[in-house]
Amino acid sequence: MADESVFRLIFSFFYDPYFRSTARKSASSIFKNFFILQYNAAFSKRYPVSQVDHPLDQKIPFKPEKVDLYAEFLNLFIRAMSFLLRNFGSQVKEDVKNALESIGILYGKAAEIYVKNFSTTKRPRYLKRFKFLIIHTFDPHLMCIPSLHVMVLIQTYTKFREILRKLGKEEAFLTQIEELRRNALAISEAVLYIKQHSINCISAAMYAMSRYDSSFHPEEAELFARDLFKDADSISYEDAQAIRNHIISLYHRFFDQKTSVWEEPLLEFLLINRRS
C-alpha cells in the first residue's frame, strides 16, 4: 500500500466530477475548522485555552526524526482509498466518496470542542528540520483535544476495513487491514514523539471517534490503545504500560459518562485544566 500514488488520487478527487464536490466540501471543512478557526483564536486571544499535558508525557522522548511519519496522517487515508479504487474500481466509488466526506465531517465535529475551549501542550521550539519550521509557522498549537490526527487515523483503518467487509473481502485482505492499522498506530506514536499532543489527547480522540462511529466501540478502542508503544525501544516496559493504562482509563472516564451531548465530558475536562 505504500506504493499507492497520493498525488494521483488527490488529482482524481478534485477533477473527477464524481468526487469533485465532496473533495471541495471536505477541503473547505479542513480549512475552515482547522486553519481559520485556530488562527482567529491565536490572534484574538479571546477564547479560553486549557493546558492538557500529563506527567507521563515526560516519559516519551522527543524524537524529531519522527516528524516525517507524523506528516503522513492524511496520506495514509489517501493511499488506503487509492488501494480500494485500484483493486475494486466502480464497486467502491460510492464508499470512497462517503469516506472522503467523513474526513470533512470529523473536522467539523472536533471544531465543536475547539470553538468553545481551545487546548495546548508544552511543545519544544525545534526548527532544525524544515517540516518543524512549517509546523511552527502554520500551527498555533491550540487544537489538542481531541487530536484530529488520531481521529483521522482511526477513521482510515476502520473505514477501510468496513468497505472490505461490505464487499465480502475482509478475510482476503487481512494483511492490508493490519498494515493500515499498524501504520495508524505508528503515526499516533509519532504525534507523541514530536510533542504535538499529550497522551490525554489520544484518549479524547478515541472517545470522540466512539461517539461519532459505533464501530469504534470500547473493545476496539482498548485494542488500539493496548498496541501503542508495544515495541518501543526508548520507553521502558513499565512506563509504556502506565501510558497505555492511562489512555484507556481516561477514555473510559469520558465514554462511561454516556452523556446525551457528546462534547460534555471533554469540555468538563478542559474546564478543570483551563489556564487562569
Please state the separation of Cα 31 from the chain's center in Å.
16
> What residues in the chain have per-residue pLDDT under 50?
none
| Spatial CA neighbour of 3 closest among 92, 79, 73, 71 | 79
For the chain, the first-to-last Cα distance in angstroms comes to 47
Q: Tell me, what's the pLDDT at 128? A: 86
For residue 119, what are the β-bridge partners? 50, 143
Q: Tell me, what's the pLDDT at 58? A: 97
| Spatial CA neighbour of 210 closest among 173, 177, 252 | 252
pTM of the model: 0.95
Q: Grid cell 475548522 — which residue? A: 33
| Spatial CA neighbour of 61 closest among 181, 200, 239 | 239
3-state secondary structure of 41: helix
Q: Tell me, what's the pLDDT at 1? A: 76
Residue 65 neighbours by CB under 8 Å, 6+ apart: none
Strands (E), the chain: 49-51, 118-120
Q: Tell me, what's the pLDDT at 276? A: 62
Please state the separation of Cα 51 from the chain's center in Å.
19
pLDDT in tens, 1-20: 777 888 888 988 999 999 99
